[in-house]
Amino acid sequence: MGMHDLDAENEDLVRKVIDYALERLGSDSPLSSPPSAEELQALVGNTITPTGLGGTEALRTFADHLAPACMPTDHPRYLAFVAGAPTMAASAFDLVVGSSSLCGSTWLDGAGMVFAENQALRWIADLADMPDSAGGCFVTGGTMGNLSALVTARHDADRRRMDAGSGHPQRWAVVAAESAHSSIDSAAGVMGVDVLLAAVDAGERLRGDAVAAAIAARPAGTEVFAVVATAGTTNLGIVDDIDGIADACAESGVWLHVDGAYGGAAMAAPSVRHRFDGIHRVDSLVVDPHKWLFSPFDCAALVYANPALARVAHTQHAGYLEPIIDDSVWNPCDYANVLTRRARGMPFWFSLAVYGTDAYTEAIEHTLEVARATRDMVVAADHLELLVEPELSVVAFRRRGWGQADYQTWCDRLLAAGTALLTPTTFDGGAAMRVCIVNPRTTVGDLQEVLATLGGAGDHAA
């Protein structure tokens, strides 16, 4: 069997792979704890051999041993972290993107896909009421989106200082709240810049006055090049006061980046759209379709109000690349820290095109309703304590009388029973629980079942 011809054997293999994918889409794989590497070694053995295992055996190894050793994020009771629940169309089209040998770096290579991806990006820009000029590209995740946006912001701030004859500052800094995602710290580390913390208010929300205070309190020699506001904090789902923060940024001429990796999707939900007031004023925005917009991993939308500023910051120059450097066409690789690029926005585009945006609004509203019902169940239970009023689809709570070990025991038990995946978090220096609902197949009944296992007053998890 050759590797590159669609001969009878390869055709049979392709069909088996597609059949496997179809079967997987129609069933929930169980939730279970991961095995150890030693256990997998015993089950799977060595799969990389000079002559190959053959298609049947390699696929069997995956289906029987490797896939069951992975957590299905689209399980309705995957309630930890931020899950992902791709639509049927998006998952299916991922196979097409993977089997089309199309590169999404440049217009020259991928005009048709770049055109389609840009329509999907435009939908997100429209949700935010960003200007007609807005544009960007799809990157691997919020982490890469945040880094690429901040690189653009610093590049622009530095260029403006140079134009003004002020020279480079001793240090560059980004202002962010403690509730900002860990990827902001990570980006700052990569960039060699400082993070200046701005205080959140009693409702865990970053506001304009705290941002203005943090900018004013910067150390001598330090210049602030960007403020990061979070539209849906990962731990609690809080949307920062974007309009007030935009005022503070405008006042001091600082770039406003909004990290909506998790929460930005909720701009499509009329019941919570007001929480995003002021988002049309952003300089850059990140929204992860692989979180709450039902796209397979990995897919994050990065959108700039003025993409030309990103192009000057990110375009790579080399002799062999000069022929594609062309600002009369849209080259996605010019807008992030990337060159070769999977057209990872295509499954998302296909799904939007198939089902229409109303279906997205409805699905997101449904998850918000399940989150509200969960909040009500927590409030109604004497042994539970709601930590903050949920703004999006994260519900954070405590079980009265429980500490870290109790939560962990409870989570372990739920996973061992295959009931649900939850993980403890921290809030205000103490252990707590959170559930994040981004799967439209998650029901109020699922949450009822999970919360019922928290026992009554006085019980311990053991």
Ligand X SMILES: *Cc1c(COP(=O)(O)O)cnc(C)c1O
Chain positions contacting ligand X, by CB under 6 A: 82, 141-143, 181, 183, 230, 234, 259, 261-262, 288, 300
Nearer to ligand X, 139 or 157 (CB): 139
What is the closest distance, in whole angstroms, from the C-beta atom of residue 459 to ligand X in the complex?
32
CB of 221 to ligand X, least distance (A): 29
Closest contact distance (angstroms) between CB of 263 and ligand X is: 7
Give 13 or 211: the residue with its C-beta nearer to ligand X. 211
CA angle in degrees (0–180, nearest 5) for 106-335-96: 45
Q: Which pairs count as long-range contacts for 398-406, CB under 8 Å and 24+ apart, including other chains?
A: 398/427, 398/430, 398/431, 398/432, 398/433, 399/433, 399/454, 399/455, 400/457, 401/457, 401/458, 401/460, 402/431, 402/460, 402/461, 403/431, 404/431, 405/461, 406/460, 406/461, 406/462
Strand partners, 377: none
Rounded to a whole number of angstroms, the minimum distance from the CB of residue 270 to ligand X is: 22
135-139: strand order across its sheet: 135-139, 300-304, 284-287, 255-260, 222-230, 171-177, 194-198
Length of the chain: 462
Q: Are strands 255-260 and 284-287 parallel, antiparallel or unpaired?
A: parallel
How does DSSP classify residue 231?
B
List the end-to-end C-alpha distance of the chain, in Å, as a whole number: 56
Measured from the CB of residue 47, what is the shortest distance to ligand X in angstroms? 28
Cα distance between residue 393 and residue 300, in whole Å: 19
Instruction: Give least dist CB 413 to ligand X, A.
Output: 27
Nearer to ligand X, 108 or 190 (CB): 190
Kindly tell me which of 158 and 240 has the beta carbon lying closer to ligand X: 240
Tell me the HSE value of 188 on the side-chain side, using a 13 A CA sphere.
22
Between CA 271 and CA 368 the distance in angstroms is 9
- Residue 351 Cβ, how far from ligand X at the closest point, in Å? 18
**Nearest approach, Cβ of residue 144 and ligand X (Å):** 7
Burial class (CB in 10 A: 0-12, 13-18, 19+), 64: exposed
Give the residue with the Cβ less far from ligand X, 300 or 363.
300
Q: Is there a contact between 422 and 411 (Cβ–Cβ < 8 Å)?
A: yes
The amino acid at residue 125 is A
- Rounded (10°) angle between helices 8-25 and 88-98: 160
Nearer to ligand X, 252 or 337 (CB): 337
- DSSP per-residue string spanning 72-120: -TTSTTB-SS------HHHHHHHHHHHTTT---S-HHHHHHHHHHHHHH
Residue 288 vs 391, nearer CB to ligand X: 288
Q: Which is nearer to ligand X, 93 or 292 (CB)?
A: 292
Kindly tell me which of 234 and 439 has the beta carbon lying closer to ligand X.
234
Please report how close the Cβ of residue 109 comes to ligand X at its closest, in angstroms. 25
